[in-house]
A and B are shown apart, each in its own frame.
Chain A
Amino acid sequence: MSTADIISPEFAAADAPSFPDDARIADPAPFVRFLPDGTKRLDLSISGARCGGCIVKIENGLGAMSGVEAARLNLSTGRLCVTWRGDRVAPKAIVAKITDLGFRATAFDPVAAQSEEDSEGKFLLRCLAVAGFAAANIMLLSVAVWAGQDGEMGPATRTMLHWVSAAIALPAAAFAGRPFFRSAAGALKARRANMDVPISLAVILALGMSVYETLNHGRDAYFDAAAMLLFFLLIGRYLDHHLRAKARASAKKLLSLQASVATRLKQDGDVEVVSARDIEPGDQILLAPGDRAPVNGCIVDGGSDVDISLVTGESAPVYKKAGDKLYAGVLNLSSRLILEARAKTEDSLIADLTRLIEAGEQAKSNYVRLADRAAALYVPLVHSLALLTFAGWFFIGDAGLRVSIMNAVAVLIITCPCALGLAAPAVQVVATGRLFREGVLVKSGDALERLADVDAIFFDKTGTLTLGRFRLTNRDEIPQYMMKKAAMLARASRHPLARAIAEAAGIGPLAEGATETPGCGIEGDVHGVLARLGRAEWVGGNGDSVGGAAGATETWFQIGDAPPVRFLFEDLMRADARETVRAFKDSGVVVEMLSGDLAAPARHIAEAAGIDQWRAALSPEDKIARLDELGRAGMKVAMVGDGLNDAPSLAAAHASLSPGSAADASQAAADFVFQGDSLAPVFAAYEISKKARRRMVENFAFAALYNACAIPLAVFGVVTPLIAALAMSGSSIIVTLNALRLASGPRKARVQ
């Protein structure tokens, strides 16, 4: 497919001033897949779709394009799949259409998308359904057996019901027990014992013993216990998997970030769109306003204001011209640049950051979860108890082989970690739901455990303690008519300061023929008079700019010969940053600020937020070094950050949070993502994590207590199938109810 002829008109227009929001559309052509049946498929990641109306808008909008066969949006994952036939549909036109409809679409790496399908979750769900069917039906038969125990039911009927139970339980266990059998076999092969070993043993022994009893027309069969055990444990297993799958899906976002495209200039002057991965050092790349640099490079032509906040955390845009170096991830703001690649994507900064993130996540996966720690204690204990029971009955009690085995198996069944299997996942699911209502997205279950035991928290400055957006601070000093006129120019630019003016002025007309001079400002025709908005020297502002407030960011506006007006800006602190910092200090957590910005603005914000310890001008490596420093001192540190430069430290920290406005990579690396302009959710996440941990410990304690009561019964051989069933379901229900207590806690008013 020829992409050059699609892109050329856009290329010609790239230098013209543009409306603030018509971000140039990247051509997703390199990510189109050709399916065997002749259709073409494109996977896009859509942001901004939140309701049923959005589904209708997007699907019908695309369906109306001629040639498109199907468009289906998955609202939960934000993934859109479009299929079409032939060449009538240009991939770029699809993205353009979605942009027109008011959403943002990014190409998704097809390889990453393919592995997305959650086959493991479906497998667990099928097992769960089979186990539930078996448990319910066997229980119906078992209740009949127990009710008829006083002689109302003859041994022949009882044996028949046992055989029916066996016919349900044996295939069901063979099907639904696979997740446990597999995991247990894997663990045994590696000469370890995990929680699945006693589970598998209990299920297999319970079934085997029951079949033996049924053959001998015995009274007690444990078919119902085996099926119920599998059912309860699979619930816990599924909840746990569900949380993990969510975490994985967000990590995949990082891959989609890398699936970016670049516009390469060919030798003959033509342009072509290539996948960012195919860029070789020496290639000339065209960077239009709104594009991010895909690789590290050097500007060979043009000059423009660029936003380097994702890389360094510095919030004010910087002017870069020919000869200057650009890092990957830098956003071009005002004018077309030609960049010569100096590295491949794999060697560029974003790739470096990705590697650091992966290293951090590796370290995090070494974290041993509470449930696993409990299992490590539990397994040997239970097995030696069962063995002791057998030995006791056989050698000391002289009870014969059959009774000894029966009692040993009863110990295994009754101690089977039903409540233990539910203890942690149930709490995590409830806590995750509670935090979701507070505006916090939890990406992994064990993140709650990790956040609960931190004793220090690091905040990033730009975008975390502050909102990362400039706000006009001297609006009252500016005459209304000047404001209106300046806004007309400001609306034509995507420079953050101009945006702030446009935002403060609201909706209004646009200046005609506005042209932007990179590094200086924007000029245009306002009601027939030439006006300029930009740097003091360029606009003609007087020496006042030097005497302005220290560290203040400013821009000037002049219309005709009227005296220039000064606009002052500040990156505003989040309204409740101070309270949040105090709340952490009150609960005994050390608070520190790590910033990539310069010392002066860092000090200003640190003092305003009430943080005594702060460090400025840190590189991503410096931030990790600081984390390690405290880590070696035995402290567990949580990190809150938003920039691309924070992503590695977010991944390396013991637990991490990031605002919803953060870079994709940072959101992917963080354990928690909080929404809105308030910082309160950070403390809410910490508080609820602590509570969740308390519930988990309670649940484990309860499971231990239950075992302490039930084991003597089993050891002395007085356990019947009825007692086993009651104990098992009773303990599971109590553990679940205890977890649900978390959901009913007092709900704080959410700051909008």
Chain B
Amino acid sequence: MTALFFLIPIALFLGAVGLAAFIWSVKSGQYEDLDGAAERVLNDDDLDEEDAPE
């Protein structure tokens, strides 16, 4: 039975980490432009952004 004393807190902690990550992603606006995010994945222009023409 003593296993419960550390297993339950571990399970809750892991769940809480996931929850915190989700809340952070909502807060930082990750869901505001779902269509754009899907397309941006394919964008590799950021590699040579430094030497973009004036």
Q: Please list the residues of chain A having a beta carbon within 8 angstroms of any beta carbon in chain B.
A: 51-52, 55-56, 60, 63-64, 66, 73-77, 118, 122, 125-126, 129-130, 133, 136-137, 140-141, 157, 160, 164, 168
The contact sample of 8 A-B pairs, CB cut-off 8 A, is A52-B43, A73-B36, A75-B33, A76-B34, A76-B36, A77-B33, A126-B26, A157-B1
Q: Is the CB of A52 within 8 A of B40?
A: yes
Given that A51-B39, A64-B52, A122-B27 are known contacts, is A129 also in contact with B22, CB under 8 Å in the complex?
Answer: yes
Q: Is the CB of A133 within 8 A of B16?
A: yes
Q: Is the CB of A55 within 8 A of B19?
A: no
Contacts of A60 in B (CB 8 A): 45, 49, 52
| Smallest CB separation, B11 vs chain A (Å) | 7
Contacts of B40 in A (CB 8 A): 52, 55
- Report the bound CA distance from A118 to B26 in whole Å: 11
Q: Please list the residues of chain B having a beta carbon within 8 angstroms of any beta carbon in chain A.
A: 1, 4, 8, 11-12, 15-16, 18-19, 22-23, 26-27, 31-36, 38-43, 45, 49, 52-54
Question: Taking CB as reference atom, which chain A residue is nearest B22?
Answer: A129
Question: Taking CB as reference atom, which chain A residue is nearest B18?
Answer: A133
Contacts of B36 in A (CB 8 A): 55, 73-76
Q: Is the CB of A52 within 8 A of B52?
A: no
Contacts of A168 in B (CB 8 A): 12
7 shortest interchain CB distances as A-B pairs: A52-B39, A75-B36, A74-B33, A133-B19, A75-B35, A76-B35, A129-B22
Known contacts A63-B52, A66-B54, A74-B32; can you find 20 more A-B pairs with CB under 8 A? A52-B43, A55-B43, A56-B43, A60-B52, A63-B49, A74-B36, A75-B36, A76-B33, A76-B36, A118-B32, A122-B27, A125-B31, A126-B23, A129-B22, A129-B26, A140-B11, A157-B4, A160-B4, A164-B8, A168-B12
Question: Taking CB as reference atom, which chain B residue is nearest A73?
Answer: B36
- Report the bound CA distance from A583 to B53 in whole Å: 56
Question: Taking CB as reference atom, which chain B residue is nearest A61?
Answer: B52
| Smallest CB separation, B24 vs chain A (Å) | 10
Contacts of B52 in A (CB 8 A): 60, 63-64
Contacts of B26 in A (CB 8 A): 122, 125-126, 129
Given that A63-B52, A76-B33, A76-B36 are known contacts, is A129 also in contact with B43, CB under 8 Å in the complex?
Answer: no
Question: Taking CB as reference atom, which chain A residue is nearest B27?
Answer: A122
Question: Taking CB as reference atom, which chain A residue is nearest B41?
Answer: A52
- Report the bound CA distance from A255 to B5 in whole Å: 58
- Report the bound CA distance from A111 to B32 in whole Å: 19
Question: Taking CB as reference atom, which chain B residue is nearest A75?
Answer: B36
- Report the bound CA distance from A74 to B45 in whole Å: 17
- Report the bound CA distance from A75 to B53 in whole Å: 24
Q: Is the CB of A129 within 8 A of B39?
A: no
Contacts of A157 in B (CB 8 A): 1, 4
Q: Is the CB of B23 within 8 A of A52?
A: no
- Report the bound CA distance from A210 to B1 in whole Å: 23
- Report the bound CA distance from A74 to B36 in whole Å: 6
- Report the bound CA distance from A122 to B28 in whole Å: 10
| Smallest CB separation, B48 vs chain A (Å) | 10
Contacts of B33 in A (CB 8 A): 74-77
| Smallest CB separation, A156 vs chain B (Å) | 9
- Report the bound CA distance from A76 to B34 in whole Å: 7
| Smallest CB separation, A500 vs chain B (Å) | 34
Q: Is the CB of A129 within 8 A of B23?
A: yes
Given that A55-B39, A56-B45 are known contacts, is A64 also in contact with B8, CB under 8 Å in the complex?
Answer: no
| Smallest CB separation, A48 vs chain B (Å) | 14
Contacts of B1 in A (CB 8 A): 157
Contacts of B18 in A (CB 8 A): 133
| Smallest CB separation, B44 vs chain A (Å) | 9
Question: Taking CB as reference atom, which chain A residue is nearest B21?
Answer: A129
Contacts of B45 in A (CB 8 A): 56, 60
Q: Is the CB of A130 within 8 A of B35?
A: no
Contacts of B49 in A (CB 8 A): 60, 63
Given that A63-B49, A122-B27, A133-B19 are known contacts, is A75 also in contact with B11, CB under 8 Å in the complex?
Answer: no
| Smallest CB separation, B30 vs chain A (Å) | 11
- Report the bound CA distance from A136 to B19 in whole Å: 12
Contacts of B31 in A (CB 8 A): 125
| Smallest CB separation, B6 vs chain A (Å) | 13
| Smallest CB separation, A552 vs chain B (Å) | 44
| Smallest CB separation, B42 vs chain A (Å) | 5
| Smallest CB separation, A77 vs chain B (Å) | 7
Contacts of B34 in A (CB 8 A): 76
Contacts of A137 in B (CB 8 A): 11-12, 15
The one of A63, A75, A122, A136 in contact with B39, judged by C-beta atoms closer than 8 angstroms, is A75
Contacts of A77 in B (CB 8 A): 33
| Smallest CB separation, B50 vs chain A (Å) | 11
Contacts of B42 in A (CB 8 A): 52
Question: Taking CB as reference atom, which chain B residue is nearest A153?
Answer: B1
Contacts of A141 in B (CB 8 A): 8
- Report the bound CA distance from A485 to B34 in whole Å: 48
- Report the bound CA distance from A743 to B32 in whole Å: 25
Q: Is the CB of B54 within 8 A of A64?
A: yes
Question: Taking CB as reference atom, which chain A residue is nearest B42?
Answer: A52
- Report the bound CA distance from A100 to B26 in whole Å: 35
| Smallest CB separation, A152 vs chain B (Å) | 12
| Smallest CB separation, A308 vs chain B (Å) | 36
| Smallest CB separation, A663 vs chain B (Å) | 24
Contacts of B19 in A (CB 8 A): 129-130, 133
- Report the bound CA distance from A136 to B22 in whole Å: 15
Of the listed residues A52, A74, A118, the one surrounded by the most CB atoms of chain B closer than 10 A to its CB is: A52
| Smallest CB separation, B31 vs chain A (Å) | 7
Of the listed residues A60, A66, A130, A140, the one surrounded by the most CB atoms of chain B closer than 10 A to its CB is: A60
Contacts of B43 in A (CB 8 A): 52, 55-56
Question: Taking CB as reference atom, which chain B residue is nearest A49?
Answer: B36
Contacts of A51 in B (CB 8 A): 39
Q: Is the CB of A133 within 8 A of B15?
A: yes
- Report the bound CA distance from A579 to B3 in whole Å: 72
- Report the bound CA distance from A122 to B36 in whole Å: 18
- Report the bound CA distance from A129 to B11 in whole Å: 17
Contacts of B41 in A (CB 8 A): 52
Question: Taking CB as reference atom, which chain A residue is nearest B1?
Answer: A157
- Report the bound CA distance from A157 to B2 in whole Å: 10
Contacts of A133 in B (CB 8 A): 15-16, 18-19
